A = this chain, B = another copy of it.
Amino acid sequence: MENVEWIAKRAKKAAPTIARATLEERNEALLLLAEALQTKREYLLDENQQDITEAKQKGTAQPLIDRLLLTEERIADMAEGMRQLVALPDPINQVLETMERPNGLLIEKRAVPFGVFGMIYEARPNVTVDACALAIKTGNGVVLRGSGSAMHSNKAIVSVLKEALRQTSIHTDIIQLIENPSREEANRFMKLKGDIDVLIPRGGASLIQTVVNEATIPVIETGVGNCHVYLSNAANVELASAIIVNAKTQRPSVCNACETVLVERSFAEQHLHTIAENLRQKGVQLVGDETAQALHPQIGAATEEDWQKEYLDLSLAVRCVDGIEEAVAHIEKYGTNHSEAIVTEDDRERDFFFQAVDAAVLYHNASTRFTDGFEFGFGAEIGISTQKLHARGPMGLHALTTYKYTVKGSGQIKG
Point out residues on A near B: beta carbons under 8 Å: 16, 19-20, 99, 101, 105, 107, 114-115, 193, 197-198, 212-213, 216, 218-220, 236, 238-239, 242-243, 245-247, 250, 350, 354-356, 358-367, 369-370, 375-377, 387-390, 392-393, 402-414
Nearest B-chain residue to A405, judged by Cβ: B361
A250 touches B369 (CB 8 A): no
B407 touches A361 (CB 8 A): yes
Q: What are 14 pairs between A and B in contact, CB < 8 Å?
A: A20-B355, A198-B388, A218-B387, A218-B388, A246-B414, A250-B413, A361-B404, A361-B405, A361-B406, A362-B407, A366-B413, A369-B413, A376-B405, A392-B404
Within the assembled complex, what's the spacing in Å between the Cα atoms of A411 and B238? 9
Instruction: List B contacts of A409 (CB < 8 A).
Output: 363-366
- Shortest A26–chain B CB gap in Å is 15
What is the predominant secondary structure among interface residues of chain A facing chain B? mixed
A408 touches B365 (CB 8 A): yes
Instruction: List B contacts of A246 (CB < 8 A).
Output: 413-414
Instruction: List B contacts of A361 (CB < 8 A).
Output: 404-407
Quick one: given A366-B411, A388-B197, are A376 and B99 in contact (CB under 8 Å)?
yes
Instruction: List B contacts of A376 (CB < 8 A).
Output: 99, 101, 107, 405
Instruction: List B contacts of A390 (CB < 8 A).
Output: 389-390
Within the assembled complex, what's the spacing in Å between the Cα atoms of A361 and B99? 14
Tell which of B197, B220, B411 touches A242, judged by Cβ atoms closer than 8 Å.
B411
A212-B216, A366-B412 known, 13 other contacts, Cβ within 8 Å = A99-B377, A101-B376, A101-B377, A115-B358, A218-B387, A243-B413, A245-B413, A361-B405, A362-B405, A365-B408, A366-B407, A366-B408, A369-B414
Nearest B-chain residue to A107, judged by Cβ: B376
B402 touches A389 (CB 8 A): yes
Quick one: given A356-B16, A402-B392, A413-B242, are A407 and B370 in contact (CB under 8 Å)?
yes
Instruction: List B contacts of A115 (CB < 8 A).
Output: 358, 388
Instruction: List B contacts of A407 (CB < 8 A).
Output: 361-364, 366, 370
- Shortest A231–chain B CB gap in Å is 13
Instruction: List B contacts of A216 (CB < 8 A).
Output: 212-213
Within the assembled complex, what's the spacing in Å between the Cα atoms of A238 and B409? 14
Nearest B-chain residue to A247, judged by Cβ: B413
Quick one: given A388-B197, A389-B402, are A414 and B250 in contact (CB under 8 Å)?
yes
- Shortest A196–chain B CB gap in Å is 11
Tell which of B19, B360, B370 touches A404, judged by Cβ atoms closer than 8 Å.
B360
Nearest B-chain residue to A362, judged by Cβ: B406
Instruction: List B contacts of A247 (CB < 8 A).
Output: 413
Instruction: List B contacts of A20 (CB < 8 A).
Output: 355
Within the assembled complex, what's the spacing in Å between the Cα atoms of A360 and B213? 27
Instruction: List B contacts of A355 (CB < 8 A).
Output: 19-20
Within the assembled complex, what's the spacing in Å between the Cα atoms of A393 and B405? 8
Quick one: given A216-B212, A392-B404, are A412 and B101 in contact (CB under 8 Å)?
no
Instruction: List B contacts of A242 (CB < 8 A).
Output: 411, 413
Within the assembled complex, what's the spacing in Å between the Cα atoms of A283 and B135? 49
A389 touches B16 (CB 8 A): no
A101 touches B375 (CB 8 A): yes
A239 touches B366 (CB 8 A): no
B389 touches A389 (CB 8 A): yes
Nearest B-chain residue to A110, judged by Cβ: B354
